[in-house]
Amino acid sequence: MNHARRKFVDAIKAQGLNPNKLPDRPPTKARHALRAVQFFKTLYTIERRIKDKPPDERLAVRQRDSIPVLEQFKAWADKLHPKVTQSGKLGQALAYLLNHWSGLVRYCEDGHFDIDNNIAERAIRPFCVGRRNWLFANSQAGARASANLYSLVQSAKANGLEPYAYLKLLFTEMPKAETVEDIEALLPDRINGADPKPARS
């Protein structure tokens, strides 16, 4: 959903406007994009209200509050899309929204889902930023070793462990492991929080 929102923000910027400092009467194309951004703002406001609620409550609120907003949003986009230049930023934003609509609204089908994938994107950002470095793995074995290491780091973070402390513990204790149970005891979700220090917030 955040990707779809960003495209409408780009449409506002394409009009030479700052989305945070708009004139009293912005151009028509900017007003359309602003209307879309307002829909997103309403949906995200609902999500902020329920972010700490259990999945069943989140689902109930989405069914009650978010779906009517999404229905209005879809009807508005369907009506506007044929009237704008398809190659322009607003046309592209509307096309993206409508082409991905079924995926964008899936979060209203399950309270476990988030409105967007920002958490996952933040987790993989280091890999995306450093993707050129991966060209120098030199071999499939080197690439596999890097992938394994990054998986360990992300698993440590996901389990609230500080990655360096976890890896230090792992590399110290792994050579002593003699059984499958010894190895499984070193998995991030099995580690006693007192061993590697908890991750800094």
128 pLDDT above the threshold of 80: no
Q: Name the DSSP letter for residue 149.
A: H
Q: Which pLDDT does position 201 carry in this prediction?
A: 43
Q: Please, which pLDDT band fits residue 124 given cuts at 50, 70 and 90?
A: low
The answer to whether the predicted template modeling score (pTM) of the entire model surpasses 0.85 is no
Please give the average per-residue pLDDT across 79-83, as a whole number. Answer: 96
Find the distance separating the first CA and the last CA of the chain, reported in whole Å: 26
The model's pLDDT over 19-77, given as tens digits with 9 standing for 90+, comes to 777 777 777 778 899 999 999 999 999 999 999 999 999 999 999 999 999 999 999 99
Could you tell me the two tokens for 105?
């609204």
pLDDT at residue number 1? 94
Q: Where are the domains of the chain?
A: 2-109, 118-184
pLDDT confidence bin for 146, thresholds 50/70/90:
confident
pLDDT score at 26: 77
pLDDT averaged over every residue in the chain: 86
Question: Can you tell me which residue has the tokens 């989405």?
Answer: 62
CA 184 to chain CA centroid, Å, is 30
